[in-house]
């Protein structure tokens, strides 16, 4: 079969996605997303797993969202089982941007509990974005199991995910305010405050919660 100009152009763009220069890779990803083609999907997904530049990764995700879901979903779901943390986190991020609820069942407890904080944070955000109606409370309980985990960035990400679930998160947060670990209690109380007042700053909320825990206090209903 003769090689067409379209085949040649596609091959050129796929090579450009692997160029040593990030501006070249960025332009290639933009071009691929501007003119979607099934020939690009596998290359985009593979590049997501190894691309070091945040802006390029974001453009790769955008390019994938420009392709039909039936073409992108199978490959992205396979990436969730990758041994490479970046492959898992970027696939999760892309699934959250695509927003197709077919991916919900692939957001497993294993991903929510991933040892890599970046993967776990992305799994929390993606789960909240895709959770079906009626399963919010169960998801809130699963997320609340991670209260107290990690540093500021991880804790802030978890708080935001729980707040995004709204009142469905309230019972799980209330239960966590009586946990034996002070760090868990403080994180739960701070998240309760953010749930009541989303405009409250996380830093203030967590420091105030630590003082409450130090004084022997607990969270509040609702």
Task: Give domain status of residue 222, yes or no.
Answer: no
Task: Give domain status of residue 114, yes or no.
Answer: yes
Confidence at residue 139, expressed as pLDDT on a 0 to 100 scale: 98
Task: Give domain status of residue 7, yes or no.
Answer: no
Q: Are 178 and 212 found together in one domain?
A: yes
Q: Are 20 and 114 found together in one domain?
A: yes
Confidence at residue 221, expressed as pLDDT on a 0 to 100 scale: 47
Distance from C-alpha of 36 to C-alpha of 66, rounded to nearest angstrom: 6
Please say which residue of 92, 113, 130 terminates a domain.
130
Q: Are 22 and 117 found together in one domain?
A: yes
Task: Give domain status of residue 4, yes or no.
Answer: no
Query: Would the pTM count as exceeding 0.75?
Result: yes
Q: Are 116 and 81 found together in one domain?
A: yes
* pLDDT < 70 positions in the chain: 1-3, 204, 217-222
Distance from C-alpha of 99 to C-alpha of 179, rounded to nearest angstrom: 34
What is the span of the domain harbouring residue 96? 13-130
Please say which residue of 113, 130, 147 terminates a domain.
130
Do residues 188 and 219 lie in contact, with contact meaning Cβ atoms separated by under 8 Å? Answer: yes
Task: Give domain status of residue 44, yes or no.
Answer: yes
Task: Give domain status of residue 8, yes or no.
Answer: no
- Would you say how long the chain is, in residues? 222
Task: Give domain status of residue 157, yes or no.
Answer: yes
Please say which residue of 89, 114, 130 terminates a domain.
130
Q: Are 33 and 125 found together in one domain?
A: yes
- Structural domain count of the chain: 2
Confidence at residue 154, expressed as pLDDT on a 0 to 100 scale: 95
Q: Are 120 and 142 found together in one domain?
A: no
Distance from C-alpha of 214 to C-alpha of 148, rounded to nearest angstrom: 15
Identify which of 138, 148, 149, 151 has the alpha carbon closest to the alpha carbon of residue 177: 148
Q: Are 30 and 51 found together in one domain?
A: yes
Do residues 188 and 176 lie in contact, with contact meaning Cβ atoms separated by under 8 Å? Answer: yes
What value, to the nearest 5°, has the Cα angle with vertex 168 and ends 163 and 169? 50
Task: Give domain status of residue 93, yes or no.
Answer: yes
Q: Are 89 and 186 found together in one domain?
A: no
CATH code of 23's domain: 1.25.10.10
CB atoms within 10 A of CB 75: 17
Do residues 93 and 122 lie in contact, with contact meaning Cβ atoms separated by under 8 Å? Answer: yes
Q: Are 20 and 49 found together in one domain?
A: yes
DSSP 115: S
């Amino acid at each position: 079969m003769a090689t067409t100009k379209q085949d040649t152009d596609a091959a050129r763009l796929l090579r450009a996605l692997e160029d040593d220069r990030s501006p070249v890779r960025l332009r290639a990803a933009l071009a691929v997303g501007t003119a979607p083609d099934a020939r690009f999907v596998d290359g985009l997904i593979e590049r997501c797993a190894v691309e070091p530049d945040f802006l390029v990764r974001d453009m790769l995700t955008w390019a994938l969202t420009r392709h039909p879901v039936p073409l992108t979903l199978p490959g992205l779901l396979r990436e969730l089982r990758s041994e490479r943390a970046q492959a898992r986190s970027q696939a999760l991020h892309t699934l959250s941007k695509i927003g197709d609820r077919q991916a919900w069942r692939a957001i497993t407890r294993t991903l929510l509990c991933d040892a890599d904080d970046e993967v776990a944070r992305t799994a929390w955000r993606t789960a909240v974005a895709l959770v079906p109606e009626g399963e919010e409370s169960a998801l809130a309980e699963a997320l609340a199991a991670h209260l107290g985990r990690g540093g500021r960035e991880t804790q802030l990400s978890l708080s935001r995910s729980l707040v995004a679930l709204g009142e469905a998160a309230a019972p799980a947060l209330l239960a966590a305010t009586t946990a034996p670990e002070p760090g868990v209690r403080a994180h739960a109380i701070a998240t309760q405050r953010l749930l009541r007042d989303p405009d409250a700053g996380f830093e203030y909320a967590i420091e105030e919660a630590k003082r409450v825990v130090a004084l022997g206090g607990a969270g509040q209903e609702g």
